[in-house]
Amino acid sequence: MVLRPLPQGYRYYYVLHPRPTIVLLTRCPNGRLNMMPASWNTPVSEEPPTVAIAVDRDSYTYECLEYHPESTINVPSSDMLDLVYRLGTVSGRDVDKIREHNIQLEESYRVSVPRWRDALASLEARVYDSIDVGEVKLYVFEILGVYVDLVFYTRWGWDFRKTNILLHGAGRNFYIVGKWIRAGKKQVE
Ligand SMILES: Cc1cc2nc3c(=O)[nH]c(=O)nc-3n(C[C@H](O)[C@H](O)[C@H](O)COP(=O)(O)O)c2cc1C
């Protein structure tokens, strides 16, 4: 490799894409529920179980989380590509996205925000901590409940012979997981 400085106009963060896309479901001050895809997300700790998600302070989801600090973190399958993209291009300030797309919800056990019934998985979450960073608020959620479709989920994670998840590339471009490789047992010199 010959590494060079990033050319003008290139975005630094794409070196860390594609990224698994989740959909945050929140309870909002306008009395509605809202859904927003977020690919800037990561597990943080196991004890307690936490997940961090970067939420733009211009988004309605930010307002909703400040209003009601609970959420469900839903994992859509790749079949939901167009829907997920649409959820990420309009704001719950202007549109009732759940009604528009006839999204089916089911009650959560540990939080008062419902889960997305057609997701592959849904995590019930409460804001544990947060930090303002630039234009974003990074929310660290404590995970209070985890629900998965066990047809697709194994002890080692998703069974990609049966389903796939959405990895966000850039703009309208996504990837799916396509190839399984395994590290050798021998130590690398
Ligand atoms: C695949 C995808 C991933 C996104 N990831 C994020 C993210 O991690 N954080 C964020 O603030 N916005 C993200 N966005 C943009 C928001 O989803 C978008 O601004 C949305 O319209 C906000 O909705 P709201 O105003 O109803 O909250 C993403 C959009 C897409 C399509």
Domain ranges of the chain: 16-175
Reference 93, options 155, 11, 29, 50; nearest CA is: 29
Dist CA 38 CA 169 (whole Å): 12
pTM (two decimals): 0.97
Residues lining ligand 1, judged by CB closer than 6 Å?
Answer: 21, 34, 36-40, 54-56, 59-61, 85, 88-93, 168
**pLDDT for 26-67, tens place per residue?**
999 999 999 999 999 999 999 999 999 999 999 999 999 999
Question: Ligand 1 centroid vs 107 CA: distance in angstroms?
Answer: 24
State which CATH number among 2.30.110.10, 2.40.50.1070, 3.90.1640.10, 3.40.50.720 fits the domain covering 16-175. 2.30.110.10
Q: Dihedral sign for Cα 103, 107, 109, 114, please.
A: positive
Angle subtended at Cα 54 by Cα 93 and Cα 166, rounded to the nearest 5 degrees: 85
Model pLDDT for residues 77-121, shown as the tens digit of each residue: 999 999 999 999 999 999 999 999 999 999 999 999 999 999 999
- Residue 153's pLDDT band, with cuts at 50, 70 and 90, is very high
Separation of 1 CA from ligand 1 center, angstroms?
34
pLDDT band at 186, cuts 50/70/90? confident
Largest CA distance in the chain: 59
- Report the atom number in ligand 1 closest to the C-alpha of 85: 31
Residue to mutate (ligand 1; options 16, 27, 59; most atoms within 8 A of CB): 59
Quote the CA–CA distance of 123 and 116 in Å, as a whole number. Answer: 10
